[in-house]
Amino acid sequence: MIPAGMSQHEVPVGGDRRLMVEVSGNRDGMPVFLMHGTPGSRSGPKPRGSVSYRLGVLLISYDRPGYGRSTRHPGRGVADAARDVAAIADALGIDRFAVVGRSGGGPHALACAALLPQRVVRTAVLVSLAPANARDLNWYDGMTPGNVAAYTWADNDYPALKKELTSRAASLAVDPESMFEGLRTELEAADRRVVDNVAIRRQLAQSYTEALRDGPFGWLDDVLAFRADWGFDLGAITSPVRIWHGADDRFSPVSHAQWLARQIPGAVIDVRPGAAHFNAVEILPEILSWVAAVAPHQRDGD
C-alpha cells in the first residue's frame, strides 16, 4: 500500500546499492516515473503534490545512482535505469506505469520504454540528448561551449572532466545559485526568463544542492553514460512516445529531438518556437496530463 501524501522510500536494488525514492500526488492515480535532469535529484523541479493529485498522477521520482542519497553505481550505463525503475516499481507494488524524462532524464526514460515493454504504457522525453553514436547527426552542432567541453573530456580526458565537475559541485555547495550565474552567458532569452522566476529558481537550486551533497559522482557518471553506447534499440519501443523540445535549446540542440523522432516508431514530436531548454520545467503539467491519459486496463495490466 502506497501511503497518502508525500513519502520517502529507500529501495534496495542489488548488492549494497540503495535508491532514494520520493512519491507524491494521487495514490489512486496513474503511476508516473519522473526522471530528473543532469545534474538533478528527486526533489525537483516538478509540480506540487496538489497539482499531481488534480492531474490524477502518482508521481515517483528518485535520485539516480551517485546523486543525492542514492548509492553510486560506477560504470553505469543508460540502460541500467530500466533495472532500477523496475526494482522501484516492484517495491511499491506497481505493475504498469508511464515515464517522463527531462533533459538528462530523457535517455533514461527511453531506456525504460525500450527495455520494459510490458510495463511502460507511455513515455515523454523533454529536451533530451540523442545517442553519441547517432548516425547522420552532427552531435555538437548548436551546443553550448560548456557542454561541448564536458562531453569532449568524457571521450578524451577523464581527469579534466572530473576536475571540472568537482570544482563546480564544490561551488554549488557554497552557493547553490552559482550554477545560474555560470550559465548566464549560455542561456537563451527564454531560458533566462524561466530561471529568473523565483519559485523555479529555488526548486532548481534545491535540486542541485541535494544532487551534489556527496560530490559530483552522479553528474560525472551521467556524462560518461551519455557518451557511451546506450545499450538498447530505440526502434524496439512499441508504446506511445511524445517528444517535446524548445526550438532555441542550446544545451540539447533541437536536432537531437528530431533525430530521436525519426528512430522511434510512431513518436510524436512537438518543437516549440520561442522556447529553450528550461521551458521544459513549465510544460511538465501538460506532459503529465498526457502520459496519465491511458485506459484503465492499461494501468492494471489486463
The model's pLDDT over 230-268, given as tens digits with 9 standing for 90+, comes to 999 999 999 999 999 999 999 999 999 999 999 999 999
Tell me the average pLDDT of the chain.
93
pTM: 0.94
pLDDT at residue number 241? 98
The model's pLDDT over 99-121, given as tens digits with 9 standing for 90+, comes to 999 999 999 999 999 999 999 99
Dihedral, CA of residue 187, residue 100, residue 6 and residue 221, to nearest 10: -70
Summarize the confidence of residues 183-197 as an average pLDDT: 88
**Which residue type, as a one-letter code, is found at position 69?**
R
28 pLDDT higher than 80: yes
126 pLDDT higher than 70: yes
53's enclosing H/E stretch is: helix 49-55
pLDDT at residue number 2? 61
CB atoms within 10 A of CB 263: 16
Beta-sheet strands, E only, within the chain: 7-12, 18-25, 30-35, 57-62, 97-102, 120-126, 241-246, 268-272
User: Residue 299 — pLDDT band, cuts 50, 70, 90?
Assistant: low
261's enclosing H/E stretch is: helix 254-263
pLDDT at residue number 106? 98
pLDDT > 70 fraction of the chain, expressed in percent and rounded: 95
Cα–Cα distance between 297 and 302 in angstroms, integer?
A: 5
Q: Please tell me the least confidently modeled range out of 66-70, 110-114, 292-296.
A: 292-296
pLDDT at residue number 300? 64
Summarize the confidence of residues 24-31 as an average pLDDT: 93
Q: Which of 273, 272, 104, 278 is nearest to 196 (CA)?
A: 278
Is 99:69 a contact under the CB 8 Å cutoff?
A: no
Is 98:52 a contact under the CB 8 Å cutoff?
A: no
Rg, C-alpha atoms of the chain: 18
Is 16:42 a contact under the CB 8 Å cutoff?
A: no
State the cell numbers at 138: 552532427
Using CA atoms, how far residue 36 sits from 28, 120, 158, 174, in Å, is 23, 18, 24, 22
The full set of domains in the chain, from first to last, is 7-300 (3.40.50.1820)
What is the phi/psi pair of residue 196, to 5°? Answer: -85, -10
Is 92:9 a contact under the CB 8 Å cutoff?
A: yes
